[in-house]
Amino acid sequence: MTIRGKAYIAGAYEHPTRKAPDKSVAQLHAESAAGALADAGLTKDDVDGYFCAGDAPGMGPVNMLDYMNLRVRHMDSTDLGGCSYIAAVAHATEAIMAGKCNVALITLAGRPRSEGHSGTAARPGNPNIPDSPWETHFGPSTVNLYAMAAARHMYQYGTTSEQLAWIKVAASHHAQHNPHAMLRDVVTVEDVVNSPMVSDPLHRLDCCVVSDGGGALLVVKPEIAKALKRPLVKVLGGAEAMKGQMGGDVDLTYSGAVWTGPAAFAEAGVMPSDIQYASIYDSFTITVLMQLEDLGFCEKGKGGAFVADGNLISGVGKLPFNTDGGGLCNNHPANRGGITKVIEAVRQLRGEAHPKVQVPNCGLALAHGTGGLLGSRHASATLILERE
């Protein structure tokens, strides 16, 4: 039994705010939910399943469902960091298959920009997190734990800062067309490698933005999707995995995508070369490069050559990626970019991306994310979607 074709994404909404000092986190969740319902042509009374993750305040479903006053019969608050919302689409499909719900709402929202949370601050220690007594005092910040992966990839495969910079360049080419994007200026490879070093070898422009915002998705059973007026975006395959330090057998040169990619492609019955558009989690440039290799878009270690020379720019290269500008230029709400990855894939499959970045006749798309920390322990989630 697989999830192939067992549900559709009928609603997708990205909150337009990038800075929301005047809104509450719960409000951003609810406004995103309302946006997705309006997009789908459904009402709040249609929702009978709810999916959220660690950004949802309090006890997640308990507090958020009370705030939105929704009565559901299925709840899931699996927290896989920033890729939670990609995995949630597969989990929602599984719940729909099992008859546990018909209309599943997924929300994300947060205000790290207004609240002053970024990826360069060290995390506080917590003795009950098993790795904390061994690591927290060494001061690893989010960016450090991606920088060490980048340094090792460079050492092992000869990847260069200039090649990583191409990922940001491609994102900026897309962001120029997105009126909501935080960074709309097109940048060059030189701009990236000459920007201030944050955590060697990652520069400021190798890092994603810190933004407020939110997003929501509606995953529905096939009969409901077909009765709505929106283009049909079908779930074809999904997979999730976790990769950590493996008892000390640390290998920072690959991510959990080595497991989720083959599993999701097998379930979907397609190959990496079939994918017309890819949303690839871009917390940092190195995140993109490693995931592209691990998903099988190029040979391991050849990601640098693959991303160079505009190969990720829509209309220019072979694999258009993150056509909304991604986390690197557009939006990284709640420091968790998974939901925006699915939303832009849905736009592409519906033909509703910006005309300057729309992939012609986009029929098959992938969304992939890394949640947590690439250089210590992280979750990976892959989703493959098809326009029917």
CB of 53 to another protein, least distance (A): 25
Largest distance between two CA atoms of the chain: 55
Task: Specify the residue, 135 or 191, whose C-beta has the smaller distance to another protein.
Answer: 135
- Separation CA 173–CA 250 (nearest Å): 35
φ and ψ of 329, to 5 deg = -130, -30
- Which window, 167-175, 243-251, 308-316, 334-342, contacts another protein (CB under 8 A)? 243-251
Task: Specify the residue, 24 or 120, whose C-beta has the smaller distance to another protein.
Answer: 120
State which of residues 10, 56, 68, 151 lies at the interface with another protein (CB under 8 A): 151
| 8 Å CB contact between 209 and 331 | yes
| 116 is a site residue for another protein (CB under 8 A) | no
| 8 Å CB contact between 17 and 212 | yes
Task: Specify the residue, 116 or 360, whose C-beta has the smaller distance to another protein.
Answer: 116
State which of residues 137, 226, 318, 356 lies at the interface with another protein (CB under 8 A): 137
CB of 71 to another protein, least distance (A): 41
Task: Specify the residue, 130 or 355, whose C-beta has the smaller distance to another protein.
Answer: 130
- Which window, 48-56, 118-126, 279-287, 365-373, contacts another protein (CB under 8 A)? 118-126
| 132 is a site residue for another protein (CB under 8 A) | yes
φ and ψ of 238, to 5 deg = -155, 155
CB of 196 to another protein, least distance (A): 9
Site string for another protein, 152-171 (x = CB under 8 A): x--x----------------
- Which window, 31-39, 120-128, 206-214, 230-238, contacts another protein (CB under 8 A)? 120-128
Scanning residues 190 to 219, which ones bind another protein (CB under 8 A)? 197, 199-202
CB of 210 to another protein, least distance (A): 18
- Which window, 20-28, 30-38, 136-144, 319-327, contacts another protein (CB under 8 A)? 136-144
- Which window, 10-18, 138-146, 161-169, 303-311, contacts another protein (CB under 8 A)? 138-146
Q: Contact positions toward another protein, by CB under 8 A?
A: 122, 125-128, 130-140, 144, 147-149, 151-152, 155, 197, 199-202, 245-250, 252, 375-376
